[in-house]
Homo-oligomer: A and B are copies of this chain.
């Protein structure tokens, strides 16, 4: 886990392909023998980072908030606000770790893409579930298509991460969040 943590930090900042195993060894003070005792190769370590580090963090920040009771509009907005503005691990200049992996590995590394797709599907299902609950409670219009809304919200998130990288400033997050709030209110 120590190796994975440090490796993740390097990869999050530099990218997977450009982070060499020697880089990881240098910063972790781990020798090559130890590294290859724990991981068969670099890709196995990459997959381990996603499963052991990314998934738990993702579940805490992206999934769990959606399971709380209340107004979906508020729940979804608050989740997004927390992810973009409060989360101290995710820096605006380095974007979303999951999106970085996706962009870099798809479509060539199918192992990565499959695991990342699982992440994405979990989020999607949680959003759909949250909206369906809101519809039953009369908080969301009955004609709202849950899946469409989920996909729309997710795409907005990944896109604003990209714009944040370009602008290297959270100010674009705030602009996005304002419009997200307006959009969510149209679902009521």
Q: Are A167 and B103 in contact (CB under 8 A)?
A: no
Q: Are A103 and B106 in contact (CB under 8 A)?
A: no
Q: Are B103 and A104 in contact (CB under 8 A)?
A: yes
A79 within 8 A of B: no
A45 within 8 A of B: no
Q: What is the interface residue range for chain A against chain B? A: 35 or more
Docked complex: A1-44 residues within 8 A CB-CB of B: 14-15, 17-18
Question: When chains A and B are docked, how far (Å) is the Cα of A153 from the Cα of B101?
Answer: 23
Question: When chains A and B are docked, how far (Å) is the Cα of A145 from the Cα of B154?
Answer: 22
With A15-B17, A148-B182, A175-B151 as given contacts, are A162 and B102 in contact (CB-CB < 8 Å)? yes
For A149, the closest partner residue in chain B by CB is: B179
CB distance from A177 to the nearest CB of B (A): 9
Question: When chains A and B are docked, how far (Å) is the Cα of A163 from the Cα of B157?
Answer: 11
Q: Are B179 and A163 in contact (CB under 8 A)?
A: no
Cβ–Cβ < 8 Å partners of A155 in chain B: 155-160, 162-163, 176
- Among A99, A159, A186: residue with most chain B CB under 10 A: A159
For A157, the closest partner residue in chain B by CB is: B159
From B154, B166, B178, A116 is in contact (CB under 8 Å) with: B166
For A183, the closest partner residue in chain B by CB is: B183
Cβ–Cβ < 8 Å partners of A15 in chain B: 17, 104
Question: When chains A and B are docked, how far (Å) is the Cα of A17 from the Cα of B108?
Answer: 14
Cβ–Cβ < 8 Å partners of A152 in chain B: 156, 176, 179-180, 183
Cβ–Cβ < 8 Å partners of A179 in chain B: 145, 148-149, 151-152
A-B CB contact pairs (8 Å), 8 listed = A15-B17, A102-B162, A102-B166, A106-B166, A107-B165, A145-B178, A148-B182, A155-B157
